Amino acid sequence: MRDPTLDLKVIHLVRDPRAVASSRIKSRHGLIRESLQVVRSRDPHIHRMPFLDAGHKLGGKKEAGGGSDYHALGAMEVICSSMAKTLQTALHPPDWLQGNYMAVRYEDLVVEPIKTLRQVYGFVNLAVSPDMEKFALNMTSGPGYSSKPFVVSARNASQALSAWRTALSYQQIKQVEEYCQQPMALLGYERVGSPEEVKDLSRTLLRKPRL
């Protein structure tokens, strides 16, 4: 980034941490080792935030995920801590980062694919081709939403955005919000106040980001 011979720019793709947590739980078996590595990589000198539900690890065994769900959620604390540091640097950028960093929300990309795509391409001084715009529209206006992990396919954007609201329990959602409150606030992801608010899909949980 400091090399004057390079015109390096950073495009940081972000997503609602609750949706990230939902994807990690859905992919629990494929990511269990990775989740364990993430949890173990946390700084031992930093006080670890406890689970809101002290019996979650044991109680989770009654559900499909068991301990793997526990580790998937635990990994979110480390992931969001790292994300918070990155976003704070972007919020108060040093000279070498000013004008060279752009955060792109997944939600904006799928709701307004052409507008967001043009902003990204404009940031790196490129023009979007008609074929790329067509591809972006196709990938965000598919007939459904795949339940299989690690599958890239055209999908219904609205279903993809709200899937976590029906997949996660209210307790899981509040746990992720506890871990990720700082990056969520910076990125414009509103926290929920009740189980009813989670299920009300007519209510958007997006606001203008601070970045």
Select from 97, 156, 102 the least CA-distant residue to 125. Answer: 102
Residue 183 pLDDT greater than 50, yes or no = yes
Handedness of CA 64, 74, 32, 24 (dihedral sign): positive
According to DSSP, the residues that pair with 122 across neighbouring strands are none
Residue 121 pLDDT greater than 80, yes or no = yes
The owner of tokens 């919020």 is 91
pLDDT tens digit sequence for 157-171: 777 788 999 999 999
Predicted pLDDT of residue 40: 67
- Given a contact cutoff of 8 angstroms between Cβ atoms, the answer to whether 143 and 156 are in contact is yes
- Given a contact cutoff of 8 angstroms between Cβ atoms, the answer to whether 134 and 154 are in contact is no
Residue 181 pLDDT greater than 80, yes or no = yes
What DSSP state is assigned to residue 197? H
Predicted pLDDT of residue 58: 36
Residue 54 pLDDT level (bands cut at 50, 70, 90): very low
| Token pair of 153 as six digits | 């396919």
Predicted pLDDT of residue 60: 45
- Given a contact cutoff of 8 angstroms between Cβ atoms, the answer to whether 28 and 69 are in contact is yes
Select from 90, 70, 48 the least CA-distant residue to 178. Answer: 48
Residue 42 pLDDT greater than 80, yes or no = no
CB-neighbour burial class of residue 175 (10 A; exposed 0-12, middle 13-18, buried 19+): buried
Please enumerate in sequence order all residues whose Cβ is within 8 A of that of 55, keeping only pairs 6 or more positions apart, or say none: none
- Given a contact cutoff of 8 angstroms between Cβ atoms, the answer to whether 206 and 107 are in contact is yes
Query: In whole angstroms, what is the distance from residue 100 CA to residue 199 CA?
Result: 38
Length of the chain: 211
pLDDT tens digit sequence for 70-120: 778 888 999 999 999 999 999 999 999 999 999 999 999 988 999 999 999
Domain ranges of the chain: 9-43+64-197
- Given a contact cutoff of 8 angstroms between Cβ atoms, the answer to whether 163 and 22 are in contact is yes
Architecture (CATH level 2) of domain 9-43+64-197 = 3-Layer(aba) Sandwich (3.40)
The whole-number average pLDDT for the span 191-211 is: 94
**Mean of per-residue pLDDT scores for the chain:** 83
Predicted pLDDT of residue 18: 97
Predicted pLDDT of residue 89: 96
- The percentage of residues in the chain with a pLDDT greater than 70, rounded to a whole number, is 74
Query: In whole angstroms, what is the distance from residue 165 CA to residue 18 CA?
Result: 8
